[in-house]
Structure 1
Amino acid sequence: MWVYAPAALLFLVFCWRVLRERRKFSNAVLLGLTALSALVAWIAELVGSGSASGTVVAGSVLAVGGLGILLLTCLLFLNGLQMVRKEGRSLTNLFSLMAAVSVLAVIALLITAAVAETPVLLGVGATALGMTCYLSFLFLCFVGYSFLYGRLYVRRRADYVVVLGSGLIGGSTVPPLLASRLDRAQEVHARLTKRGNYPSVITSGGQGPDEDLPESHAMAAYLTDRGFPEDLIEREDKSTTTEENLRFSKAIMEKANPGYRCVIVTNNYHAFRAALTARRMGIRGQVVGSPTATYFWPNATIREFTAVIVAYKRTNIAVFLLFAVGGVLVWATR
């Protein structure tokens, strides 16, 4: 059983870190390392047992992993086509399709390098394989912890419920994506009210060039049309990005109540990145997510993950350079 000690230790550190501050990407990495350590320990135990069944099971796990990669690639490709058909050909709608093509390109490169056995191709293939494994691991960490973060307990007291905007249809109509956030905000507000809190709701969103009114005003109208009290709504109508949503909403909360606590509402695919941003800005509050259409979720999740990778660009560039050096060493030793 000692083979599982590293996984157990990592899990204890993970729990301690989550209790201290749940809005950290390092928590996601710790969760991923815990799962990876447990999997490696299990496979090592099976192989070390010396039994034929153990070796077969270990081999089956690896085979299932390989088939899983191919299946995931196919699903990403189909999802990419669906996104283009339903949402249009903008760059942000092509992330799942680009991810599928990238995986196929890496597989083709590795096969070509293995067959040709030329030093340059082997070096490039080693670099590409390292970067792909690294990004794949981080992506699984991101998805796994995002799922967990969305189900963590939200504190009982909150002075504000902040709803992040996401654009309007036809310049004035709240789209389904934004409507799900507003519906979720009403649920959160009702739950807090039952606990003896009476928080205000801040609708956050400015006016885009193709919009007839600020998003926050349309969001407030959506709430009041469904019976929400007008006097409990505050409008933040200057922001144009998530960062500005949070920054300007923070200014409103701090001005009225320096010791505020809040709950921020966005869609589930966006919740963890919004939490990372809120922590970076010093906002005292957690983020909850609302449901998202199934077909929209994979592409949006990849987009959010890409934004997180860019946010930690220094660390990731350093890791990529290490893989590049490794590829050069493979090329030099051939």
Structure 2
Amino acid sequence: MGMLLLAAVAALLYMRWRSRDRRMLRNGVALCAAVGCGSLGLLQLLGQLVPGFGFVTLGLLLLLPASVVVLCGFLVANGVTMLRREGRRLSNMLSLLAGVALAVLPVLGLRLVLFQEPWSIALAVLLFFASTYVGVAFLVFLSYAWVYGRSTRHEHPAAVVVLGSRLIDGRVPPLLRARLDRAIEVHRETEPKPLLIPSGGQGPDESRPEGEAMAEHLLASGVPAADVVPEPRALNTAQNLEYSRRIQVEAGRDGALLAVTNTYHVLRAALLARRAGLRAEVTGAPTARYFIPSAFLREFVAVMKGHLFLHAVLFLPFLAATGLVLVAALGR
């Protein structure tokens, strides 16, 4: 019953935190803790009540290594697809690198343990802790990104900012077109009509600002010119939100701001909006399936980099435990 009690406490925390602000990653921590503890508690309860159910639990545990192998194969195959379709850039190699890491790290850990040296055993323990920490952090990020991305908007936006992304030959590619089409959908559904702000500056490999090309697409799709004000200077998501908010205020469109991006980018954009103190929510547009694994990994890396100090503090107990293992190994 202890696990079920912990699940109930985590669920209450999740509901309380979410009611305050949906744009917090700690909501995902509470949600995953509630689901994880609840699942373990349910398995324990069924094991006590149902004869032979322990074999089912054992079978599930034995499936874990097979699932890791399947995941490795999927990530490697996806990485090859990304390189073939999107080009040889580091951001397009993330799923491939993750698949290789999943295959190599267990073998490396086993080799370190077999060395039977104090330093190798401590390093194997540290590798295990680090891998587990990153894996759990990614699970929290992925789970809450999925939950947040499917949440219903609570307010009719006064303005909608479409977050920019890279143009191809000065034109709007399918990835960016999906965002614009989602913004058009919101515009058609909302009364009074919100201001549409296509936001994006000119990158080093682009022939013109993204906001300019995006505005052309909106106008060509039938959006009235009075409802479109491009923002052509922003070079990242934080600037997209900040500069677009200024345009909203200058246009006299007081009220909530809604940001439109692709599904994989929704949670990080929401976190940035909250950090900037903006009254803004984020909604997602469809993304090509092959693009999603690498894109989510890229977003996860960006979120981790943005909270390096926090993660360093949270990892200190694991470093201390590794130190104790090393001391114990040296004392044998």
| TM-score category of the 2 structures, normalised to the smaller one | over 0.9
Determine the structure 1 residue equivalent to 2:327: 332
Cα contact 1:6–1:37 (8 A) shared by 2: yes
Deviation of residue 34 (structure 1)? 0.9
Matching residue's letter, 2:79: G
User: Deviation digits for residues 79-125 of structure 1, max 9, x if unmatched?
Assistant: 11111111111111111111122222220122223434332222111
Counterpart check, 1:286 vs 2:286: no
Cα contact 1:10–1:30 (8 A) shared by 2: yes
> Could you tell me how far apart the structure 2 residues matched to 1:247 and 1:105 are?
42
> Which residues in structure 2 correspond to 1:243-254 (within 5 Å)?
243-254=238-249
Determine the structure 2 residue equivalent to 1:185: 183
> Which residues in structure 2 correspond to 1:281-320 (within 5 Å)?
281-320=276-315
SS at match of 1:202: strand
Determine the structure 2 residue equivalent to 1:165: 164
SS at match of 2:290: coil
> Could you tell me how far apart the structure 2 residues matched to 1:149 and 1:91 are?
27
> Which residues in structure 2 correspond to 1:127-166 (within 5 Å)?
127-166=126-165
Determine the structure 2 residue equivalent to 1:119: 118
Matching residue's letter, 2:272: T
The structure 1 residue matched to 2:235, chosen from 227, 240, 251, is 240
> Could you tell me how far apart the structure 2 residues matched to 1:99 and 1:283 are?
34
Q: CA RMSD in A?
A: 1.7
> Which residues in structure 2 correspond to 1:210-229 (within 5 Å)?
210-229=205-224
Deviation of residue 73 (structure 1)? 1.6
User: Deviation digits for residues 209-254 of structure 1, max 9, x if unmatched?
Assistant: 3323211111011111111111110111111111111111122223
Deviation of residue 49 (structure 1)? 5.0
% of aligned pairs identical?
36
Label 1:273 to 1:325 Cα distance change in 2 as closer, same or farther (>3 A): same
SS at match of 1:234: coil
Counterpart check, 1:174 vs 2:168: no
Counterpart check, 1:28 vs 2:33: no
Determine the structure 2 residue equivalent to 1:75: 74
Deviation of residue 50 (structure 1)? 8.4
> Could you tell me how far apart the structure 2 residues matched to 1:304 and 1:115 are?
36
**What TM-score does the superposition give when structure 1 sets the normalisation length?**
0.93
Residue segments in structure 2 that go unaligned for 5+ positions in a row? none
Deviation of residue 43 (structure 1)? 3.1
Cα contact 2:195–2:228 (8 A) shared by 1: yes
Deviation of residue 28 (structure 1)? 0.9
Point out 4+ residue stretches in structure 1 off by more than 4 angstroms. 46-50
SS at match of 1:94: helix
Deviation of residue 197 (structure 1)? 2.2
> Could you tell me how far apart the structure 2 residues matched to 1:322 and 1:9 are?
23
Number of aligned residue pairs? 329
Matching residue's letter, 1:56: F
> Could you tell me how far apart the structure 2 residues matched to 1:115 and 1:2 are?
37
Residue segments in structure 1 that go unaligned for 5+ positions in a row? none
SS at match of 2:282: strand
